[in-house]
Homo-oligomer: A and B are copies of this chain.
Amino acid sequence: MSRKPLVFNAFAHVTPNHHSHGFWRHPDGRQQLGYKHLQPWVDLAKTLERGKFDALFLADVAGVYGSFRGGLETSIRTAMQFPSQDPASLVSALGLVTEHLGFAVTSSVLQEPPFQFARKLSTLDHLTEGRVAWNIVTSYLDNTARNFGLEALPDHDERYRWADEYVDVVFKLWEASWEDDARVADPVSGVFADPAKVHKINHHGPRYSVEGPHLVEPSPQRTPVLFQAGGSEAGRAFAARNAELTFVMPRSLAGAAKEVQALRARVKEQGRAADEFKIISSFAPVIGATEEEALRKQAELKEWLSIEALQAFWSASIGVDLSTIDPSRSLHELKNTNYVRGAVRSFIESAPEGVVTFGDLLKETISGRFAGTPEQIADELQRYADLGIDGFNIVPVTTLGWWTDFVDQVVPVLQKRGLMQSQYRDGTLREKLFSKGATLPDSHPARQWRGRLGG
C-alpha cells in the first residue's frame, strides 16, 4: 500500500480503430465510428479523470499504411488507422471539461515547421494551465513522407538527425527566447515586456532557419512534458537524451526486462538522473468478471479481428509486404522455408508459445494479449512494475465504452493495491508525474540554451 503509484496513460487514436484492427464491425465496436465528433472524446476525458488517469495519450500517423499489396487500398477499405483526425485540435475542448488530466499530443518532425509547432504547444499549455505533453515521432510511413514533399521516407538515422535539429529549434523557443522575468506588464511605465529579455533565437541549421522570438509567453511548463518511443538504436539514443517518458511495447515480461535495462543504461550514460526518466509499457487487457468470461471475450475479440487489416498493419510495421504468406500456413512449416528471411523470420521467431498459424501470429497484436479478472490484471501489472516499469499506456481493447469497464472495475483494485493514484497531485502535468518542478530539470539538454541567446 505504501508503494509509489505508477503512471497510467490512456492510449487512443482519433480513428475508427486503434489496435483491435477490424473490431469496428462488431456490434459494440460501431460506437467507435463516432470518433470524428467531439462528444465521445469529451465523455472519454471525463471518464479518465474520474479514474485518475495521468494523461490521455493521443497517438497519430500522418499518413496511410501502404506496404501491403503495394498500395493503400487495404488500409482504406478496412479502416486500419484510417481515416485519422488531427489530435492537437481536441486539446482545448478536453482541457475545458477536466481539471487534472494531461494530454500527450503526437506530432512528427516531418509534419509541421518547428516555429508553428512550438507556438501551438505553448498555446495549448497555457489554455490547459500546464497539462500538455509532446510525443516526439519521426514518422515511419512512406505515404507520410510523400504528404510532406519528400519522395520517400529518409532512413532511420537521417530522421533522427532531423529530429535533433527540430528539437533544438523548439527548445530554444521554449526555454531560452523569453527570460523568466521578461514580462513586466507595468501600466505605469507602459512596458509590457522588457525587449532586453526577449531574444531572437537566430537558428541556422541544415534544415531550418528560424529567427524568433517565440511569440508566446513562457507557458506553465515552458517545454511540454516530452514523450518518445524509439525502438531503433538511433531512436533509443534520442529517447535517452531527450525524453522524460519513453514508451515501450514489449511482447513479454522478459522482453520488458531487457528494454528497461538497455534504456536505463543509456540514460545514465547521458548524465541524467534516473528519476527524471520514466519507462512506460503498453498494456491492453481483456477484462472479465471471471477468468472464464475474460477468456471467452478474448476468443470473441480474435474472431472479429480482420486478418487483412492485420496484414496491412504488420506489413508496414515490419517493412515487408506480407501478402505472399498465406495466413493459414503453420509457423513451423514457414520456419523451414528459404523465402522467409530477415525481418519476417524475426517476426515469426518471436511468436509466443502455442501460436500455430501465421494468421494467429498476426492476431497476437498489441490488443487483448492478456485476459483476466481485475485482480489478475493487477497481478500482471505488478509483475511489470517489479521489473522496473514505471507505468502503462493502457490500450483499449474494443471500444470507447471499454474505458468505463476499466475505470469502474480495474481502477479500484489498482488503487487499493497502491499501484494507481487515488487522488491527483496539484500543479502541472510535469509536477504531477515527477513530484518536482513545473519546468524541465537543469540536467535536461533543452536547458543548455538558457542565457545563451544574445539577440
Contact = CB atoms under 8 A, between A and B. Distances in A.
Interface of A: 14, 16, 22, 24-27, 29-30, 33, 36-38, 42, 62-64, 72-73, 76-79, 82-86, 88-97, 111-113, 115-116, 119-120, 122-124, 126-129, 143, 146-151, 185, 187-188, 190-195, 198, 200, 208-217, 306, 308
Contact of A147 (B88, B148, B198, B210): B210
Contacts of A14: 123
B96 A36 contact: no
Nearest to A89: B123
Given A24-B192, A215-B63, A148 B113 contact: yes
Contact of A64 (B84, B190, B213): B213
A113 B79 contact: no
B215 A126 contact: no
B115 A147 contact: yes
B113 A211 contact: no
Given A151-B209, A190-B306, 14 more contacts: A25-B188, A26-B187, A29-B187, A30-B187, A38-B126, A64-B215, A72-B213, A76-B192, A76-B193, A83-B193, A83-B217, A86-B216, A89-B127, A93-B96
A89 B120 contact: yes
Number of copies: 2
B119 A62 contact: yes
B82 A215 contact: yes
Nearest to A183: B83
B217 A120 contact: no
B92 A211 contact: no
B195 A126 contact: no
Nearest to A149: B209
B208 A149 contact: yes
A85 B148 contact: no
Contacts of A211: 143, 146-147
A96 B150 CA distance: 37
Ranked nearest first, the 6 interchain pairs of A and B with the lowest CB-CB distance are A79-B192, A92-B93, A146-B211, A25-B187, A73-B195, A86-B123
A240 to B, nearest CB: 29
Given A86-B119, A112-B116, A77 B143 contact: no
B25 A190 contact: yes
A438 B144 CA distance: 30
B85 A216 contact: yes
A86 B216 CA distance: 9
Given A147-B212, A148-B115, A187-B25, A123 B85 contact: yes
Contacts of A92: 38, 89-94
22 contacts: A25-B187, A27-B187, A37-B127, A42-B96, A63-B215, A76-B198, A78-B190, A78-B191, A83-B216, A84-B216, A85-B122, A86-B116, A89-B91, A89-B92, A91-B92, A92-B92, A96-B97, A111-B116, A116-B148, A143-B211, A147-B211, A149-B208
Contacts of A83: 193, 214-217
Contacts of A306: 190
Given A33-B185, A85-B123, A112-B116, A149 B210 contact: yes
B63 A192 contact: no
Contacts of A150: 209
Most B CB contacts (10 A, CB to CB) among A149, A214, A216 go to A149
Contacts of A119: 62, 85-86
B22 A77 contact: no
A360 to B, nearest CB: 19
Contacts of A212: 147
Contacts of A151: 209
